[in-house]
Amino acid sequence: MDNFKKNKLFYVGLSLVGVVFLAGIYFSVVSVLDQRKTTLALEKVKKETAALLAGHVFAHDDRAISLTDDNVKNAAKDLAELNEQLTALRISIASNPELIIRGKQSTNSNELNATLKQSVDEWKKLAVDHDVKILPNDQCDFGFRRYIRNPGTSPKREFQRVDQQRMIIDFLYRQLVESRPVGAPLLLLSVDREPVETFVLIPEGKPGAGTYGPENESSRNENDEFSPTRTFDRMGLVETLSFRLRFAGTTPTLRTFVNKVRNSGRAFAITSVEVRLPAPEITKAIGIIAAPGAPAAPAVISLPNFFGAEDTAASASKARTSGSTPKDVRTLVFKETPSEFIVQIDYLSIPEEKPAAPEGEAKK
C-alpha cells in the first residue's frame, strides 16, 4: 500500500495501458466478426449475380403424366382453345373472305400473257382519262416489263400468283388515281412488284437451302421488280406479296391513298413510306396544274414600307374617299409544291393447311 501511495502515477499509467489493451482486443474481435459477416454477404451477392447471368435452370423431371380421364379432358380443352385462337388469328389476318384477292387457278402461260397485255391497255387509258401523268418512256407495264417489252415471252411458273399480283396492282393503281384531288398534280413514276415466278427452291448443300431465291437465268435486274427490305412474311405462318409505288404529287394525295388502302377491308399492310424532294426532271415532268376557276396569283407582290406609316395613311385616305370599309383581300403567297413518295405495301395471306398424311402412307 505504501508502495502504491509512493508510486501513484506509475500504477495509474499502468492501469490505463491495461484498459487500452483490453479495448484494443475488443475492437479487434468486433472487426474480425464484421469482416466475416461482410465476406459472407459478398459471397452471397456473387452467387446471386452468377445465377442471374447464367439464367434460370429448371430441374429435370422424368415423371410421366398419368393418362387419367381428367388429364385427357384438360389436354383436349387446351388444344381446342389453342385451335380457336389460331383460327381467330387467321381470320384477323386474312380479312373478309369476300374481299380476298385471288388469282385465277385455271390460268396458263398464254392466257396470263394476254391478260397482262389487256391490263396494261386499261391502265394506260385510266391514266389518260384521269389526267395522270406518266414518264415519256413508260408504258404502264407495272411490274411486268419483262413480258410486255419482250414479245413472245410469258411467265413460266406460278401462274395463279402472278395473276394475283396483276389484280392487286390493278386495285392499288385505281386507289391511287382516285385519291388525287381535283386540280392536283400527279406523276406516276413506277409500280414495282416482287417477281415471285422467278423464284426457285434452293437445293441442299447451298446457302439458304430449303428457301426460295431468284433463278439465275431469269434475273434481269428489271427496274419495276424489287426485293422488299421490310416485310411481314413469316415462313409457314404468313405469306406476303410485296409492292412498291413511286409517284410525285401533293400530301393530300398521299394521305387519301394511305387511308383508302387501310380502310379497304383487305389484308394490306403498309410497311414503309418515304418522302423525298423531287429531282429537277421530275418537277419539270409533273408541272403545275391550276385548279379550275382558281385566280392566277400575281408574279410580283409589291410590299413598299411593309405596312409602315405611308401604307397606313394611304389606306385610311382611300377608305375615306370611297366612304366604305376596306375589304379583307387575301393573296396566296406560297403554293404547295409536289414531293416524291415511295410507298411499300404487303398483301397478307394465310398458307393453306395441308391435311396430314394417314399413318403408314408415304409422304408425297
Least confident span in 58-62, 231-235, 282-286: 58-62
Partnered with residue 273 across adjacent β-strands are 343
Q: How far apart are CA 212 and CA 200, in angstroms?
A: 5
Distances (CA, A) of 357 to 150, 360, 361: 44, 8, 6
CATH architecture observed for domain 101-288+338-349:
2-Layer Sandwich (3.30)
End-to-end Cα separation, the chain, in angstroms: 117
How far is Cα 3 from Cα 6, in angstroms, rounded to an integer? 5
Q: What is residue 354's predicted lDDT score, i.e. its pLDDT?
A: 59
Which position has the grid cell 459478398?
Answer: 42
- What is the C-alpha separation between 249 and 251, in angstroms, rounded? 7
**How confident is the model over 2-33, as pLDDT tens digits?**
676 677 777 788 888 888 888 888 888 888 88
pTM for the whole structure: 0.61
The string of pLDDT tens digits covering residues 207-245 is: 767 766 666 544 455 677 888 888 888 887 788 999 999
Q: Mean per-residue pLDDT for 300-314? A: 44
194 closest CA partner among 215, 174, 165: 165
Report domain extents, the chain. 101-288+338-349
